[in-house]
């Protein structure tokens, strides 16, 4: 097994592949990144200043690379034309057709290094026709993994890889053989920060009635009840079909199109004053374990459902939805982080897949 490897990452984004390799203790010699987003490059160079930036993926034939030395090729080609939330133009779309650039690069490397390993990712809502086309182009069928097993986010994705495969069916089709990760049972409530750090109010769509916080939706009842365990998506507030959506227990898939996402926080207003101060439980937020505090007669008299805040998810919470450390995106703005995280990979999923790489691991 090799002690150091060379990696080429197409559509590199925020270098999740690099982070996963580091966390597994796989030593890198060179890490090449093809990326054009300025914020993505800034974040990558902050964490990994030795990264070799190559620029536009469509100009790959101009790159000065020892192609034979590439051990691992990574690709998360654009999903916008494949996603159910996108145009559905499929692989013929201007952005998702870049998948075939990845295929060209892979075939070029295979000519000089037939043993190169690869990972390609795309959305679980991709049309079956396009999934079949991609599978035949790569010579392997994908495994389908939802990030909700390892994070608080619903993120259904296909992963094509020759890292570990198995032959299946009458014709011995090659299939990506990555087992499903163990369910960590992380819920949306588990990633929410303590404290009311934003008082964004949405009076037109969020309101209180019959002791419930309700969200106007295009359902039979005309609303959904929102609790502190739920995530609110208001990406299309004026839509006649999906005005607002409440996702129970998890967040919806984090994408730039779904932003911003919101959480609900209810407050206990504790009027007790000790020595002229209110040192304990003032404006306390109850959400950490989806429980309300002990219900006593005195507490019941002062509990007001109207004491709530609906706020945009913080940068820390967005990082947690993709399995990153809280401070990972500190050098960029909240909205830039949301864009990169939404376009990127779920870190614990990539770590799970990479544990099957045949390279030396120190962790």
> What is the H or E stretch that residue 247 is in?
strand 245-248
Confidence of residue 301 (pLDDT cuts 50, 70, 90): very low
Most confident range, picked from 158-162, 235-239, 273-277: 158-162
Q: For the segment 79-91, what is each residue's pLDDT rounded down to a tens digit?
A: 776 666 656 677 7
Confidence of residue 173 (pLDDT cuts 50, 70, 90): very high
User: What whole-number distance in Å separates Cα of residue 322 and Cα of residue 55?
Assistant: 25
Q: pTM here?
A: 0.85
Instruction: Give the catalytic positions in this structure.
Output: 79
Residue 156 pLDDT greater than 70, yes or no: yes
User: What whole-number distance in Å separates Cα of residue 125 and Cα of residue 132?
Assistant: 13
Across the chain, what does the average pLDDT equal?
Answer: 84
Q: For the segment 99-148, what is each residue's pLDDT rounded down to a tens digit?
A: 999 999 999 999 999 999 999 999 888 889 889 999 999 999 999 999 99
| Beta strands at 223-225 and 143-146: parallel, antiparallel or unpaired | unpaired
User: What whole-number distance in Å separates Cα of residue 332 and Cα of residue 45?
Assistant: 12
Q: For the segment 43-64, what is each residue's pLDDT rounded down to a tens digit?
A: 999 999 999 999 999 999 999 9
Domains with residue ranges and CATH for the chain: 4-181+333-354 (3.40.50.150), 194-313 (no CATH)
User: What whole-number distance in Å separates Cα of residue 161 and Cα of residue 141?
Assistant: 8
Percent of the chain with pLDDT over 90: 55
Alpha helix segments (H runs only) across 96-253: 99-112, 128-138
The whole-number average pLDDT for the span 256-275 is 62
Q: Could you count the other beta carbons within 10 Å of the beta carbon of residue 298? A: 9
Confidence of residue 95 (pLDDT cuts 50, 70, 90): confident
User: What whole-number distance in Å separates Cα of residue 112 and Cα of residue 90?
Assistant: 31
User: What whole-number distance in Å separates Cα of residue 217 and Cα of residue 225?
Assistant: 10
């Amino acid at each position: 097994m090799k002690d150091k490897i060379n990696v080429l990452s197409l559509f590199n984004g925020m270098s999740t592949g690099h982070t996963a390799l580091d966390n597994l203790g796989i030593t890198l010699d060179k890490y090449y990144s093809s990326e054009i987003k300025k914020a993505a490059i800034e974040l990558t160079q902050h964490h990994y200043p030795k990264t070799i930036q190559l620029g536009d993926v469509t100009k790959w034939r101009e790159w000065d690379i020892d192609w034979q030395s590439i051990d691992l090729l990574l690709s998360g080609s654009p999903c916008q034309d494949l996603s159910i939330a996108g145009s559905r133009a499929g692989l013929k779309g201007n952005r998702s057709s870049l998948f075939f650039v990845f295929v060209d690069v892979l075939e070029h490397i295979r000519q000089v290094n037939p043993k190169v390993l690869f990972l390609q990712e795309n959305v679980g809502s991709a049309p079956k026709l396009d999934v079949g086309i991609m599978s035949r182009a790569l010579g392997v069928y994908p495994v389908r993994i939802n990030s909700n097993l390892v994070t608080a986010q619903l993120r259904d994705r296909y992963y094509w890889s020759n890292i570990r495969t198995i032959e299946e069916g009458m014709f011995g089709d090659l299939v990506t053989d990555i087992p499903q990760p163990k369910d960590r049972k992380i819920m949306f409530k588990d990633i929410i920060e303590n404290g009311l750090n934003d008082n964004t109010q949405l009076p037109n769509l969020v309101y209180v009635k019959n002791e419930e916080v309700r969200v106007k939706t295009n359902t039979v009842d005309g609303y959904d009840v929102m609790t502190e365990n739920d995530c609110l998506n208001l990406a299309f507030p004026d839509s006649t079909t999906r005005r607002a959506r409440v996702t129970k227990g998890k967040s919806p898939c984090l994408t730039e199109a779904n932003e911003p996402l919101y959480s609900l926080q209810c407050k206990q207003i504790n009027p007790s004053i000790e020595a002229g101060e209110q040192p304990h439980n003032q404006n306390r937020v109850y959400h950490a374990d989806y429980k309300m505090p002990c219900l006593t007669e005195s507490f019941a008299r002062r509990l007001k459902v109207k004491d709530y805040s609906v706020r945009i998810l913080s940068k820390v919470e967005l990082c947690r939805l993709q399995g990153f450390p809280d401070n990972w995106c500190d050098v960029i703005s909240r909205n830039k982080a949301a864009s990169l995280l939404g376009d990127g990979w779920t870190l614990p999923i990539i770590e799970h897949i990479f544990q099957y790489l045949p390279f030396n691991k120190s962790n």
